[in-house]
Amino acid sequence: MTRDPRYDILFEPVRIGPVTARNRFFQVAHCNGFGWTAPQALAEMRGVKAEGGWAVVTTEEVEIHPSSDCEPYHEGRLYSDEDIPALALMAEAVHFHGSLAAIEIMHHGPSAANRQTREVPLGPSHRPVTLNDPVQARRMDKDDIKALRKWHRDAAIRSKRAGFDIVYVYAGHELGIPMHFLARRLNDRTDEYGGSLENRARLLRELVEDAKDAVGDTCAVAVRLAVDELMGDYGITSDGEGRDVIAMMAELPDLWDVNVSSWYNDSATSRFKKEGYQEDYIRFVKSLTSKPVVGVGRYTSPDKMVSLIKGGVLDFIGAARPSIADPFLPRKIEEGRLDDIRECIGCNMCVTSDFTMTNLRCTQNPTMGEEWRRGWHPERIAAKASENSVLVVGAGPAGLEAALSAARRGYEVHLAEASTELGGRVALEAKLPGLNEWIRVRDWRVGQLTPMTNVTIYRDSLLSADDVTGFGAGHVVLATGSTWRRDGVGREHGFAVRGFDHPNVFTPNDILEGRMPDGPVVVFDDDHYYMAGVIAEKCAAAGLATTYVTPALQPSDFTSNTLEATHIAKRLVKLGIKLFTRAAVTGFDGAEAEVTDHLSEQSYRIAAKGLVTVTARWPNDALHESVKELMARGAAPHIVSLKRIGDCHAPSTIQAAVAAGHRWARELDDPQASPYFPRELPKAPSLKRFWG
């Protein structure tokens, strides 16, 4: 295939100060759970992005000094020359594929508690740190500001030595210390670094000037600025001081990287924000500067990208999450393979890696984070290792991925689905409020499978154990999903709850299949992810008086890791849903639900004709047990392997199901397959250090 000429503009080179990007695709900074702890994995992951056509590939935030320590979160570090080799690995990997390497050096200021280094946090004012730690930042004096400028300058020089082409000055998300100086609510100084906007912007200007003086001969200097904090007049706004900062420094940096703040607004999920949602806030920037501008908006449509360039909104299409979902997105546009683009679904499972300090993961792209330790590549997979055919039972996310990856290896694949619709839980859940973009998990895989000549898909095919053993496939993988429990057993309750056998008790399966309560409803969330929240939304939208009860500290508690918790709580309140946290449903009689408060230990009666219990799930593994029993009796000796994957093995997230299907296919016919993988271990010091 060849590129559609409509997209030629996306592949024009763009000058950024002393360097040139080969096209307009810019992977902006994003966290990943690796940071300074896994430099080889980090370099391999970023290198794949460059291979996929991203002209600029950026690090995550890189701390420049021990007084900017955000542990336990694993970000980059550039404290001293000792940190240069680890970061140089990434720059080298990016350069190998002809792209520019950018580094986002920064100082957290009052947004870090310095838990590991135990240094006193620094800030423009005497204020508590923005984390929940009982720690306060110290107001920086002139010597502190001078020292900060030196740390930043030294980090810029080290960045150049490490091979980076673009060096950032970071002022966004209420994280970088220049943003703390810029914000009136955070800066109560009365000296030349406080008061007027010109004074509050002084530190940002000085850091940019210092960086340009230190490395500007060969490195571009970029500024990342949150031009709107979405706080109205209480914060920086795009029609106020955000605009004014751009205007007063318009030509100073070599590139402007602009977005909104805070992170939960900037990286909002598709449940709350759609593609391009930041445009109204950043549209003004190019009217004030001749320097190139990059912005983000979870863009996956090349037509939309072209309109942004031609419309004078952006010079670069910035991306974090779309570059994770498909590292080869630019190359696929360039090669005219638009149908092959694996579009981001905006679920933010990638973000959870930062909060949980684990390797990066993605619902759409199961290879993400596994490039180094497992050797997985998003576009390449080993050829089949035998002539055995494959039978996949169940066309949910795990089954679809297993079938596709096995087929890409060259196996003859047969995919059997009990219903007439492919997609399993994804097909159902995508119909819930705000989750419609999740259908991309199914649609991309079905779109890839459909034209493959070595794949046969059987719909409306409920297979028995005899059907499976008699099919003749050498490899059988069962992806038959799971079913939500009705008895209330889960994290909170270890035994069936009184009254949960009432006919007016509903599970998420009932709601997904169209069965709804017909009166006031209580939703009991002991799952803590998105399901109970979207069901509560659905009930409220149907006009039902809805009460939400959870033992957790907040609704959909796990979604703190996906940046959704605040959005979800606001949505539920706006819909008039009554919220009970730190509480549990302890009984139901068809007319009222008994709710017990964990703190007061008192019980309340809430009118409810229906109860939706969102607790635990049963793996649908009966078929596996039946087939296994037949094989034990000597039936189907032709079956080389039998395995469960996804929710029928252990119910989890859609991301985990996709990853399980992919791993099964990768390890098919591999006698060396193992749960162990390479780890990046610190070098052990000599005992002479301790014992002489």
Which of the residues are catalytic? Answer: 31, 170, 173, 266
Q: How many CB atoms lie within 10 A of CB 686?
A: 8
To the nearest 10°, the Cα dihedral for 582, 588, 591, 594? -30
Cβ 563 vs Cβ 264: under 8 Å: yes
Cα 478 from Cα 416, distance rounded (Å):
10
Q: Which of 621, 458, 429 is nearest to 531 (CA)?
A: 429
| Alpha-carbon separation of residue 84 from 27, 157, 212, 246 (angstroms) | 21, 10, 20, 32
Cα 525 from Cα 527, distance rounded (Å):
5
Close Cβ partners of 106 (under 8 Å, ≥ 6 residues apart): 61, 62, 63, 64, 68, 168, 170, 175, 176, 177
Cα 123 from Cα 176, distance rounded (Å):
10
Q: DSSP code of 422?
A: T
Q: How many CB atoms lie within 10 A of CB 125?
A: 18
**Local structure of 316: helix, strand or coil:** strand
DSSP 159-191: HHHHT-SEEEEEE-TTTSHHHHHH-TTT----S
Structure tokens at 279: 């445009």
Give the burial string for 426-441 (b: 16+ CB within 10 Å, else e): bbbbbebbbbebbbbb
Cα 165 from Cα 500, distance rounded (Å):
62
